[in-house]
Amino acid sequence: MTTAPALSWRRYSLTAFWRRRLSPWRTRRLLEAHLLVVFVCAAVAATTLFLSYRQTQRGAETLASREAPAVQGLAAARLAAMRADQEARALVRMHLVDVAGSGETYRSQLSAADQGLSRIADRTDQDLGTVNGLLATYGNSLSLGTSLYRDEPLMREQKLDEAHSLLTRDKVGLAPRLDELERAQLRHAEATATMGRWQRGGWWLAELALAALALTLLSALFVLRDRCGRDWNPYLLAAFALTVLLAVVPLMTTSATEDDLDVALRHLQQITAVSRHSGPGLAGAQQSVAQESDEVRQELADGTWTVRVYRGTFVGGLLVVVLPALGLGLRLDGDYWGRR
């Protein structure tokens, strides 16, 4: 004999509630409605998920290949130019200009600045023509001040002052221009790495569509068992499991990628701050920038697993559209459509 609590539980259970909600519908129309809703939700979820994840991956790739190297290159070029001036003045001050090989340090710094700007020329949309011209003029003034006018102290001092002015003159000097370019490049990097409003909205839409898809798949499985007396449909079960994976794995991967990008951005901000150093200790500042740059490369280097997740998301998005349509379509064709 069934007890009263058992009867009450069955009457007010989720299964009984859903059965009463679906009772006005004929089975065929109910399955066709489920097929339509499943297809729409799956299509919306697959499309928005693919586009949102692709945008995240593209942002990480752009930051690693273009924006971060440009920030690092501009910082290194600025410090190298500043140190070249410091080393050249030290040679004159210590009367080492006439010593063979004494100017190698400042020349190597000028060469490093020039090579750094050349390497990032194709990694930035900013115009480096003026900066390259200033660097060439600055290097020429340093060379004249340390080599040509060895017996003319006044001319030597004038050329070194001219070089220093080209380097540090407010707003139009080489160092201020490099500083402005670096800050602009850092803003580009931050915009690239930060998830925008539309991208965030795409993730919300994808997750909501996947949740609606999962609930509709459960409802379709319930209808098939409750009204058609069928066993669990393997196509719908596979689609449900795939829906759960698509709702979890790409989102977790994106969250981990965003964390890596945030860490890389903090290192880039530190690089920008250190590169503004202009007093003694430029060698230490260069070493600090090199170490921070290595940290950025390590944070952005391991992107192979995100590529695998991206490919899996693409394949999973296709399957999550095909499997439910196939499962419900075959059932409708066998029970209803094929009897026409």
* Cβ count near 195 (within 10 Å): 17
The pTM score is: 0.80
The maximal CA–CA distance of the chain, rounded, in angstroms, is: 118
The pLDDT value recorded for residue 65 is 86
For the stretch 29-44, pLDDT in tens is 777 888 889 999 999 9
Rounded CA-CA distance 328/221 in Å is: 10
Instruction: Give CA 290 to chain center in angstroms.
Output: 22
Burial of 122 (0-12, 13-18, 19+ CB in 10 A): exposed
pLDDT at 153 over 50: yes
Mean pLDDT of 115-138: 87
Rounded CA-CA distance 300/63 in Å is: 8
Structure tokens at 129: 């023509």
The pLDDT value recorded for residue 15 is 55
In percent, how much of the chain has pLDDT > 70?
81
Q: Helix/strand/coil (H, E, C) string of the chain?
A: CCCHHHHHHHHCCHHHHHHHHHCCCCHHHHHHHHHHHHHHHHHHHHHHHHHHHHHHHHHHHHHHHHHHHHHHHHHHHHHHHHHHHHHHHHHHHCCCCCCCCCCHHHHHHHHHHHHHHHHCHHHCCCCCHHHHHHHHHHHHHHHHHHHHCCCCHHHHHHHHHHHHHHHHCCCCCHHHHHHHHHHHHHHHHHHHHCCCHHHHHHHHHHHHHHHHHHHHHHHHHHHHHHHCCCCCCHHHHHHHHHHHHHHHHHHHHHHHHHHHHHHHHHHHHHHHHHHCCCCCCHHHHHHHHHHHHHHHHHHHHCCHHHHHHHHHHHHHHHHHHHHHHHHHHHHHHHHCHHHC
- CA R_g for the chain: 33
pLDDT at 182 over 60: yes
Q: What pLDDT band is residue 277 in, cutting at 50, 70 and 90?
A: confident
pLDDT at 4 over 50: no
Mean pLDDT of 76-102: 75
Mean pLDDT of 166-193: 90
Rounded CA-CA distance 244/207 in Å is: 10
pLDDT at 11 over 60: no
Q: What pLDDT band is residue 59 in, cutting at 50, 70 and 90?
A: confident
Rounded CA-CA distance 21/16 in Å is: 9
The pLDDT value recorded for residue 1 is 45
